[in-house]
Amino acid sequence: MTETVLSIRDLTLALPKGADRAFAVEHVSYDVSEGEILCVVGESGSGKSMAANAVMGLLPKGVHATGGEIWFGGQNLLTLDERAHRSLRGLRIGMIFQEPMTALNPLMRVGAQIAEVFEAHGRHTPKERQARALALLEEVGIPQPERAIRAYPFQLSGGQRQRVMIAMALALEPELLIADEPTTALDVTTQAQILKLIRDLQQRRGMAVMFITHDFGVVAEVATRVCVMREGEIVELGEAREVLDHPRHDYTRALIDAIPNDAVPNRHHAAEAQPLLEVRHLDKVFRSRGGMLKPSREVHALDDISFTLSRGETLGIVGESGSGKSTLGRCVVRLERPDSGQLLLDGVDFTTLKGETLRRGRRRVQMIFQDPYASLNPRTRVGLAIAQGPIANGVPRDQALAKADELLELVGLGGVADRFPHEFSGGQRQRIGIARALALEPELIVADEAVSALDVSIQAQILELLERLQQTFSLSLLFITHDLRVAAQICDRLIVMQHGRIVEHGTAEAIFRTPRAAYTRELLEAIPGRDAVLASA
């Protein structure tokens, strides 16, 4: 019989006045037991992290408990004073966070930051602390721990920093580990490694883990039990297998269905003799300009890239951060200028256009951006934002604004042209961005991580919209993404990139069924929940 480590009973946390709802979480109850991983799943704004913050005594300013209990080690944490609560943090409850890049103090060496945990609880001599820190770094699998212990955080990669965070959280062998979206900011292959590390450590030490995530793939990968949250309430709580295979609640089912599944796509688009876009031997090197006495550095972002794209076809460019996929997209729309190579649009070279000719030529290739909060000018009404393109290209203002109305209708947002961007949700802004891209009646649209910043349920809607519009206007789509699952859902063909080079190129089906490059296989295997989902299919 395993012991219950943490027991949350009927917890209600109030948000400050003026928030969009009164309570962050309402009447929430769940337990976390020794040796299990409880996944708390929800979309943004579901309140999934709030209970964890209450457990740590680290609630944001203005949020406070108005009811319920949190039992841990025979104490109700909600009634503890700050001093007593502090003595639990780091010692009996460890926590890791989402952003490894900012979660470590930039001015302190890694070893000192780990040693601080012992210092905070008065353990060991300074010398022993360093020895322990080294052992911990070894345990979490950091390469060259003797060097890493003397490193500053900026000298480590994101994955390595997250390992340091885990080492700190586990330093005093806590009974409970809280992991708040610990892999969300990482590349998919790094994510797979960190998930494995957490699972291994949990099994070796038999701790209880509370794992907060938005990703059902991750849930399938690590969870013993699952707690699904929406708008501050629990909608479903149960064994992981049970919830994943037989979700009882509609919302859970919708979330699971919204994950692009791995049923391998069977879309295929016949290649044409004369492709719309032909990319030949594209090269791009970024040089950090050296100063008077400073050497310059080079990054080969694009290395001999060639491919073609037909009319009405969707081509996916897949890769991790630093693969050069975004640079490729930016070169195609000519936000960047390639160093050499050609971009032929209907046989006309787009790379050599300059000044006024480039400005007029831009009409044919448009882009949909990643961040719905940054892609619209906060001071421009959305109707005008859409009409600006046609106006700049000589369409009379009235006519352009009327067209903007039609386009908003088309993307499912009729009659909102005179509102400002802040009145819309992320998904709605992305629709406005799509309408803006369509306003110039382009032939090719580059979508750069166009759904990455959205919740899964919204993601599915936007992908559907894109697909419908593509068919209506027989658009060509260059779909750039880090997420193979999303790519599989919408693309006819895929290109896999790594370090600025194309490592594999083929139909989506072929890449999923018979990946040839080792890197592609690695990427496919790293997709969280893949084994689990396939097993159930």
Partner 1 sequence: MLYARLIASRLVKAVIVLFLIIIFNFVLIQLAPGDPAAILAGEAGATDEEFLNQLRERFGLDQPMYVQLWHYVSGIATLDFGFSYRQQMPVLDLILARLPATLLLTGTAFVLSLGLGILAGSLAAARVKKPSGSLIMALALLFYATPLFWVALMAVVLFSVYLEWLPAYGMLTVGAGHTGLALALDVGKHLILPATTLALFFMAIYTRMTRASMIEASQQDYVKTARAKGLSNGVIQRRHILRNALLPIITLAGLQAGQMVGGAILTETVFAWPGIGRLMFEALQQRDYNLLLGIFFFSAALVILFNIVTDLVYRLADPRIKEAP
Partner 2 sequence: MSFFARFAQNRGALIGVIILAVIIAMAALAPFLYPESPWRMVQRPFLPPLEMDGFPLGTDTMGRNVAAGLMHGAWVSLLIGFVSTSVALLIGVPLGAVAGYYGGLIDDGLMRFTEFFQTIPNFALAIVLVAIMQPSVTSIVLAIALVSWPPVARLVRAEFLSLRHREYVEAARLVGQGNATIILRQILPNTLSPIIVLASLMVATAILLESALSFLGLGDPNVMSWGYMIGAARTVIRQAWWLSFFPGVAILLTVLALNLVGEGLDDALNPKLARERS
Residues that bind partner 2 (CB under 8 A): 15, 19-20, 24, 44-50, 333, 335, 359-360, 362-363, 365-367, 369-371, 374-380, 385, 388-389, 392-393, 433, 436, 439-440
Close Cβ partners of 170 (under 8 Å, ≥ 6 residues apart): 94, 136, 139, 140, 177, 201, 205
106 binds partner 1 (CB under 8 A): yes
Q: Does 87 participate in binding partner 1 (rule CB under 8 A)?
A: yes
Residue 99 binding target from partner 2, partner 1, none, CB below 5 to 8 Å by type: partner 1
Query: Does the protein bind partner 1 through residue 286 (CB under 8 A)?
Result: no
Q: CA angle 472-477-482, nearest 5°? A: 135
Q: Does 103 bind partner 1 (CB under 8 A)?
A: yes
Does 99 bind partner 1 (CB under 8 A)? Our answer is yes
Please say which residue, 270 or 293, places its beta carbon nearer to partner 2: 293
Chosen residue from 88, 176, 318, 508 binding partner 1 by CB under 8 A: 88
Among 40, 50, 156, 168, binds partner 1 (CB under 8 A): 168
Quote the CA–CA distance of 63 and 19 in Å, as a whole number.
10
Q: Which does 292 bind (CB under 5 to 8 A by kind): partner 1, partner 2, none?
A: partner 1
Q: Is 68 left (phi over 0), alpha (psi -120 to 50) or beta?
A: left
As measured in angstroms, the least distance from the Cβ of 135 to partner 2 is: 35
Which residues have C-beta within 8 Å of that of residue 492, sequence separation ≥ 6? 267, 268, 269, 313, 314, 315, 507, 508
- Which does residue 50 touch among partner 2, partner 1, none (CB within 5 to 8 A, set by kind)? partner 2
Start-to-end Cα distance in the chain:
32
What span, in angstroms and rounded, lies between the C-alpha atoms of 33 and 31? 6
* Burial category of 274 from C-beta neighbours within 10 Å (exposed 0-12, middle 13-18, buried 19 and up): exposed
Q: Which of 287, 294, 356, 394 binds partner 1 (CB under 8 A)?
A: 294
> Which of the choices partner 1, partner 2, none does residue 88 contact, using the CB cut-off of 5 to 8 A by kind?
partner 1
Interaction of residue 510 with partner 1, rule CB under 8 A: no
Residue 359 neighbours by CB distance under 10 Å: 12
466 binds partner 1 (CB under 8 A): no
Which residue matches tokens 């421009």?
380
Q: Nearer to partner 2 by C-beta: 25 or 149?
A: 25
> Least distance from C-beta 139 to partner 2, angstroms?
31
Alpha carbon separation from 444 to 18, 345, 354, 466 (Å, rounded): 44, 9, 19, 13
* Strand 365-368 versus strand 444-448 pairing type: parallel
Does position 152 interact with partner 1 (CB under 8 A)? The reply is: yes
Interaction of residue 107 with partner 1, rule CB under 8 A: yes
**C-beta of 103 vs 524, nearer to partner 1:** 103
Query: Do residues 534 and 262 touch, judged by C-beta distance below 8 A?
Result: yes
Q: Give which of 224, 271, 313, 234 is closest to 46, Cα–Cα.
A: 234
CB of 167 to partner 1, least distance (A): 12
Q: How far is the CB of 81 from partner 1 (least distance, A)?
A: 13
Cα(487)–Cα(318) distance, rounded to whole angstroms? 7
Nearest-angstrom CA–CA distance, 504 and 497: 7
* Residue 44 C-beta: closest distance to partner 2, Å: 6
Q: Which residue's CB is nearer to partner 1, number 48 or number 485?
A: 48
Nearer to partner 2 among residue 48 and residue 482 (C-beta): 48
Query: Which one of partner 2, partner 1, none is in contact with 429 (Cβ closer than 5 to 8 A by kind)?
Result: none
Per the structure block, which two tokens stand in for 119?
């210092």
Contacts of 314 (CB under 8 A, 6+ apart): 267, 269, 470, 476, 477, 479, 490, 491, 492, 493
Our finding on whether 117 is near partner 1 (CB under 8 A) is yes
User: How far from 240 is each of 193, 228, 346, 404, CA to CA, in Å?
Assistant: 21, 11, 52, 46
Residue 189 vs 393, nearer CB to partner 2: 393
* Residue 440 binding: pick among partner 1, partner 2, none (C-beta 5-8 Å cut-off by kind): partner 2
Give residues in contact with partner 1 (CB under 8 A). Answer: 56, 58, 86-91, 94-95, 97, 99, 102-108, 116-117, 119-121, 152, 154, 165, 168-169, 291-294
